[in-house]
């Protein structure tokens, strides 16, 4: 029986715009939910320019309860409103197309929606990264209506928000953590305001507070995907500020005029002021925006917020931002003192100290550090990690014993491509003149055809050459030849990338092609060619996307867990196509067939030489070449050449042990 003939209880509205890499996963998990065929799924293609619309039509033709609509681009709010007008269910749930439901939780929500009389049903969610792994810490992990009763009792909406604020100092603002009666939304004109980035922050409290009957389902129903390039990540700073100010103006007016209980109104307005004070930090000192300073001061509660709002009232946005920076300076100063004290008290327990270990998003560099640490431990060398201690290098150099080996983490950091990292390396070399220094395998890149490149090189040459005992390991022949020809005074040795010695036993069911493509300054495959590659592969495979850059800065304590999860993602693919070095190496580690396309700095081609005989990794010169070899490489035999890699890495071990024992001579 067609969905139009049934009395529907739920309409699921999915706005879609250029999310072809995620939409199938979103729909597949919905379809897996027991009872989903008794709902209607409304896909609103908001003028996508990729293949999202084709996917929507495909699912619509295969499943009678899925409908697809196509419209000119009007933004997320407009697409949601369009879907609401097309809906016929008693309740409406707005699902973002790059996110997912948890089938078990969604099933329980469907069951409760059959019996509840609530205007609004709330539920919880989790955050996931681009590879579908749950983010278990940090602000993004908190997607719950904290403080609400788990007895599924009815309550007034305002009580629900106030209780969350009292217990957790905040309430969940996202539109996808609830389902609301369609008639309730339409009768009260509770639509999404077009053109806003922060539309949920306005819509959600209005929907909840306007209801006298809200119910909470204490189940995880929703998976929110944190990814680069989403609306909230990509919009301009000015648009972000304008939108936020607009939302907060209307929200203040709503709380002021629609909340009758004086104490509840004070609590909601205090939370409003606290959120405003937090967000102002991103306004970068703008004094031209219509910030309601008097309203924020009047609503603020608690010493900390009252002090901030007083500074804002008296000195304006610039004054508040300056005060926040001063507070941050002192906070960082105290943290630095603690770090130095810890270093002083513990450095003599270690044989080596590591600098330049990553505190950023690149998982390739995170994996390099893990491999370096494992290798040092295997050779009996205990390493003190100085991650994020760049400003303390001059002080650390005075506190480090002369017999302590100084290590610099490897990667593609020597040269002009990543100048911030090159400057750090120079700083370490200059400050630790009395210590022996070993640089783990690097790619070297200076463009000697430009004045800027030659100038950068000459400065590095003078710095590197001035150190009495510096050893630089490089990971491909081009870097070795460059160093031998242009820096003969620096001891240089060729070895594989450190991550090639990593071993992970991962037994995963393999499915689809995983694309891992660059979008930074080293990108050599234009976006249009990447799209053509994905479109061609979809004729025979399911295609997924990933990256070896994480969505957030990776803290040292979590680097192993995050890298291991990424390796698991690679291990679950039939084929990897990548223009990232560590996309290729992660495929090598996990025995995943891979086609690699070279990038700007020649490092992929150079490092490929170490693993070219493994059988399941191949190098392609172009996208057409990659497509031509895809079918064959999936069926390729595996030749495990790790013994050769370990043997090639021996010079590193000899250098480490020699430096520690003082026995090796150049």
Domain with CATH 3.40.50 in the chain: 343-501, 513-646
Contact between 414 and 444 (Cβ < 8 Å): yes
Contact between 10 and 92 (Cβ < 8 Å): yes
For the segment 327-337, the average pLDDT, to the nearest whole number, is 83
pLDDT at 296: 77
Q: What DSSP letter does each residue of 69-89 carry, written as one string?
A: EEE----HHHHHHHHHHH--S
Query: Judging by beta carbons within 10 Å of its beta carbon (0-12, 13-18, 19+), is residue 52 exposed, middle or buried?
Result: buried
**Mean pLDDT lowest for which of 238-252, 393-407, 623-637?**
238-252
For the segment 551-561, the average pLDDT, to the nearest whole number, is 82
Determine how many CB atoms are found less than 10 A away from the CB of residue 453: 15
Q: What is the pLDDT of residues 277-316, one digit of tens each?
A: 777 766 654 444 567 777 777 777 777 777 777 777 777 7
Strand, helix or coil at 534? helix
Q: Is 491 a residue whose pLDDT tops 50? A: yes
As a whole number of angstroms, the distance between CA 355 and CA 244 comes to: 40
Helix 559-571 to helix 363-378 angle (10° resolution) is 110
Unique residue bearing structure tokens 């037994």: 507
CATH code, 3-233: 3.90.550.10
395's CB contacts (< 8 A; 6+ apart) are 340
pLDDT at 648: 94
Q: Is 661 a residue whose pLDDT tops 70? A: no
As a whole number of angstroms, the distance between CA 187 and CA 84 comes to: 12
User: Is the model more confident about 176 or about 638?
Assistant: 176
As a whole number of angstroms, the distance between CA 120 and CA 445 comes to: 58
**Mean pLDDT lowest for which of 511-525, 579-593, 607-621?**
511-525
Token pair recorded at residue 546:
């990933």
Query: Judging by beta carbons within 10 Å of its beta carbon (0-12, 13-18, 19+), is residue 170 exposed, middle or buried?
Result: middle
Q: What is the pLDDT of residues 363-393, one digit of tens each?
A: 999 999 999 999 999 999 999 999 988 889 9
**Mean pLDDT lowest for which of 424-428, 476-480, 505-509?**
505-509
Sign of CA dihedral 227, 230, 234, 240: negative
pLDDT at 414: 93
As a whole number of angstroms, the distance between CA 379 and CA 174 comes to: 51
Q: Is 163 a residue whose pLDDT tops 70? A: yes
pLDDT at 282: 62
As a whole number of angstroms, the distance between CA 325 and CA 311 comes to: 13
Strand, helix or coil at 607? helix
Q: Is 48 a residue whose pLDDT tops 60? A: yes
Domain with CATH 3.90.550.10 in the chain: 3-233
As a whole number of angstroms, the distance between CA 433 and CA 426 comes to: 11
pLDDT at 234: 46
Residue 495, phi then psi, degrees to nearest 5? -145, 170
Computed over every residue of the chain, the mean pLDDT equals 87
pLDDT band at 90 (very low <50, low <70, confident <90, very high): very high
Q: What share of the chain is helix, strand, coil (3-state, %, to 5)?
A: 50, 15, 35
Q: How far is CA 347 from the centre of its chain?
A: 33
SS3 per residue for 451-501: HHHHHHHHHHHHHHHHCCCEEEEECCHHHHHHHHHHCCCCEEEECCCHHHH
CATH of 513-646, one of 3.30.70, 1.10.3470, 3.40.50, 3.10.620: 3.40.50
Q: Is 590 a residue whose pLDDT tops 70? A: yes
Contact between 162 and 268 (Cβ < 8 Å): yes
Determine how many CB atoms are found less than 10 A away from the CB of residue 134: 12
87's CB contacts (< 8 A; 6+ apart) are 11, 13, 40, 42, 182
pLDDT band at 665 (very low <50, low <70, confident <90, very high): very low
Unique residue bearing structure tokens 């919009």: 235
pLDDT at 133: 65
Determine whether domain 343-501 maps to CATH 3.40.50.
Answer: yes
Token pair recorded at residue 137:
């810490």
Regarding beta strands 134-135 and 383-385, do their DSSP bridges make them parallel or antiparallel, or are they unpaired?
unpaired
Q: How far is CA 414 from the centre of its chain?
A: 25
As a whole number of angstroms, the distance between CA 151 and CA 358 comes to: 46
Cα Rg of the chain (Å, integer): 28
Strand, helix or coil at 334? helix
Q: What is the pLDDT of residues 199-247, one digit of tens each?
A: 898 999 999 999 999 999 999 999 998 765 454 544 566 677 777 788 8
User: Is the model more confident about 433 or about 169?
Assistant: 433
pLDDT band at 406 (very low <50, low <70, confident <90, very high): very high
SS3 per residue for 85-129: HHCCCCEEEECCCCCEECHHHHHHHHHHHCCCCCCEEEEEEEEEC
User: Is the model more confident about 295 or about 26?
Assistant: 26
pLDDT at 11: 97
For the ranges 151-165, 174-188, 309-323, the one whose mean pLDDT is highest: 174-188
As a whole number of angstroms, the distance between CA 479 and CA 605 comes to: 12
pLDDT at 6: 52
Q: Is 251 a residue whose pLDDT tops 80? A: yes
- List, in sequence order, the alpha helices (H) in 149-292: 157-168, 182-187, 199-209, 231-234, 237-258, 262-280
């Amino acid at each position: 029986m067609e969905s139009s003939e049934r009395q529907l209880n739920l309409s699921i509205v999915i706005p879609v715009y250029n999310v072809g890499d995620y939409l199938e996963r979103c729909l597949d998990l919905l379809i897996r939910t027991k009872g989903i065929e008794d709902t209607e799924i409304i896909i609103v293609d908001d003028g996508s320019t990729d293949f999202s619309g084709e996917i929507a039509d495909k699912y619509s033709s295969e499943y009678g309860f899925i409908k697809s609509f196509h419209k000119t681009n009007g933004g997320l709010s407009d697409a949601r409103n369009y879907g609401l007008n097309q809906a016929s269910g008693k309740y409406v749930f707005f699902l973002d197309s790059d996110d997912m439901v948890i089938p078990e939780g969604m099933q329980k929500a469907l069951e409760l929606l059959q019996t509840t009389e609530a205007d609004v049903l709330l539920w919880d969610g989790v955050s996931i990264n681009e590879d579908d792994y749950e983010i278990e810490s940090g602000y993004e992990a908190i997607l719950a209506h904290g403080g609400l009763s788990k007895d599924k009792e009815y309550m007034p909406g305002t009580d629900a928000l106030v209780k969350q604020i009292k217990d957790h100092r905040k309430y969940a603002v996202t539109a996808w953590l609830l389902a609301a009666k369609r008639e309730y939304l339409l009768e009260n004109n509770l639509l999404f305001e077009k053109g806003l980035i922060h539309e949920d922050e306005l819509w959600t409290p209005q929907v909840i507070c306007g209801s006298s009957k809200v119910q909470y389902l204490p189940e995880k129903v929703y998976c929110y995907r944190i990814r680069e390039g989403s609306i909230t990540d990509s919009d301009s700073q000015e648009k972000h500020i304008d939108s936020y100010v607009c939302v907060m103006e209307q929200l203040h007016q709503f709380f002021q005029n629609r909340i009758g209980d004086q104490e509840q109104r004070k609590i909601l307005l205090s939370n409003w002021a606290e959120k405003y004070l937090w967000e102002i930090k991103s306004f970068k000192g703008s004094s031209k925006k219509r910030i309601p300073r008097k309203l924020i001061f009047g609503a603020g509660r608690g010493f900390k917020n009252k002090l901030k709002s007083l500074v804002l009232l008296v000195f304006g946005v610039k004054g508040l931002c300056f005060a926040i920076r001063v507070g941050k300076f002192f906070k960082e100063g105290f943290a630095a003192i603690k770090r130095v004290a810890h270093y002083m008290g513990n450095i003599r327990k270690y044989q080596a100290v590591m600098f330049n270990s990553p505190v950023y998003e690149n998982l390739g560099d995170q994996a390099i550090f893990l491999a370096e640490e494992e290798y040092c431990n295997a050779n009996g060398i205990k390493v003190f990690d100085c991650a994020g201690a760049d400003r303390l290098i001059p002080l650390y150099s005075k506190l480090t014993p002369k017999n302590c080996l100084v290590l610099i983490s490897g990667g593609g950091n020597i040269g002009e491509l990543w100048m911030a990292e090159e400057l750090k390396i120079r700083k370490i070399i200059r400050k630790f003149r009395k210590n022996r220094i070993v640089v783990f395998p690097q790619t070297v890149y200076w463009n000697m055809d430009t004045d800027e490149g030659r100038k950068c090189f000459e400065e590095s040459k003078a710095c590197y050459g001035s150190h009495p005992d510096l050893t630089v390991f490089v990971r491909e022949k081009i870097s070795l030849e460059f160093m031998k020809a242009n820096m003969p005074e620096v001891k240089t040795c060729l070895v594989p990338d450190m991550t090639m010695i990593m071993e992970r036993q991962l037994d995963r069911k393999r499915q689809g092609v995983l694309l891992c493509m660059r979008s930074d300054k080293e990108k050599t495959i234009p976006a249009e060619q990447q799209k053509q590659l994905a479109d061609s592969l979809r004729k025979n495979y399911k295609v997924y996307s990933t990256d070896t850059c994480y969505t957030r800065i990776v803290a040292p304590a979590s680097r192993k867990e995050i890298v291991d999860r990424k390796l698991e993602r690679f291990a679950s693919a039939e084929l990897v196509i990548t223009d990232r070095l560590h996309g290729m190496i992660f495929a090598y580690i996990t025995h995943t067939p891979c086609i690699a396309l070279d990038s700007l700095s020649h490092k992929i081609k150079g490092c490929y030489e170490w693993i070219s005989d493994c059988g399941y990794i191949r190098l392609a010169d172009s996208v057409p070449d990659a497509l031509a070899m895809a079918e064959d490489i999936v069926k390729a035999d595996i030749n495990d050449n790790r013994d050769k890699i370990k043997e090639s890495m021996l010079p590193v071990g000899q250098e480490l042990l020699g430096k520690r024992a003082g026995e090796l001579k150049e």
